[in-house]
Structure 1
Amino acid sequence: MKLKIIERNGLRALTTAQLAESYGTDVKVINRNFQRNSERYVHGKHYFSLTGDDLKEFKGSRQNDDSLKYASVLYLWTEKGAWLHAKSLNTNQAWNAYEMLVDDYYNVQQQVKILTEREQLIASMKLSLETAEEINLVKGEMNEIKNMVKQQITLDYGEQRRIQKAVGQKVYQLENKKSARASLFGELYKDIKDRFGVASYRDIKRKDMQPAIRYIEAWLPRKIT
């Protein structure tokens, strides 16, 4: 018997009519056994009862099921509820049917879903978007690292020579006397270190190269001798 899948709160279930047909009995027997042993059945564990709007919605989803036409309350039986009914009937047919239901219906939760072309396209676009976002994130982090590295790079040999030449040109511009130039060299290099917070002009950051040149070109000693 091909059973139309019914799920409630994440559990598969069967109507009373389906269970009775599977066990080779009728609905009245199933209902009578339930009424006689109602204290053993727990709602949400062994069964679900549908009334009102829930029942109306369920009927609407199974319009060709005549057994539901006049029902004012509908019971849906879980695997545990089906076991209690098999125990109440205690027939070979009921137990055989119960084992078959467990194997072929209740425990078959994973259904293979074939994606439509549209669903495949959406999934592919979503994956591409997530990948692009990850790539952009990595690029952003790499740029941030590069910027941090640039902030720490000091002058290379050629750039150091440019600083030296700028200092020499400034000192020679300010002082003609050879004997007085030594103190100006010392004063200018000291002011450069103080201005850029370094132990030596060689430690000036590459990003400060041009500001250092401009500082040297505009520099004036505290006292010209």
Structure 2
Amino acid sequence: MKALIKITEQNGKQAVSARELHSFLEIKDKFADWIKRMFEYGFIENIDYQSLSDFSEKPNGGRPLINYALTLDCAKEISMLQRSDKGKQARRYFIECEKKLKTTLPTTYKEALLELIKKEEEKEVLLLQNQEQQAQLEAQAPKVLFTEAVMGSKTSCLIGELAKVITQNGYEIGERRLFKYLRENGYLGRKGERYNIPNQKYVEQGIFELKKGTRSGSGGVMHTTITTKVTGKGQVYFVNKFLKHLQSA
């Protein structure tokens, strides 16, 4: 059977677009005037039809057009009310669609049981999919907890410790390779007195901090020491950065 008018599903029931029916019936009156007149024949909203906003008929934007989803019974009666060849054709088409639907419904206990089994299997598949999604979320939970814990922590860590944290979160990298990466990408100085010292920009952003101390040298001479440490914010920053590298690889 050739599809004369598109039939969709609305809230579990077959439905017809009022605008498509208006077009098929070749009604000369404006849609809004025509459908208002049709509804005056006693059709009840939310039983015989439902109103909806149809954005698809405004490809260039603008205000949405009002459309209605008609039940097959409603569409049949409206078609008959037109008293035209097109109206008769539409009514016969809807009757054939109803007959086709009835032939697909279970007529015996066995058919009904098989239909029930099929629906239960579909539910089981959906349940398994939900369980898989839940398992995936639970697998990601440690990383989320790590992020929240580190963001709230005031404890900074050494570069070597950061390498371990990044590795624990899925991207394998050692201390030396991490130092090299930080130097080559401008986070740390590459030469002279600035070697492995953070770029001031990243210190101001709160990614690194410098810990100053003293140590005793030969002859009892005291020397000032500077240690580069990664803040909690910096740890989250670099973990996320390396995980993005992992995802794009």
Q: Which has the higher strand share?
A: 2
Q: Which has the higher helix share?
A: 1
Q: TM-score range by the shorter chain?
A: 0.3 to 0.5
Larger radius of gyration: 1
Normalising by structure 1, report the TM-score: 0.36
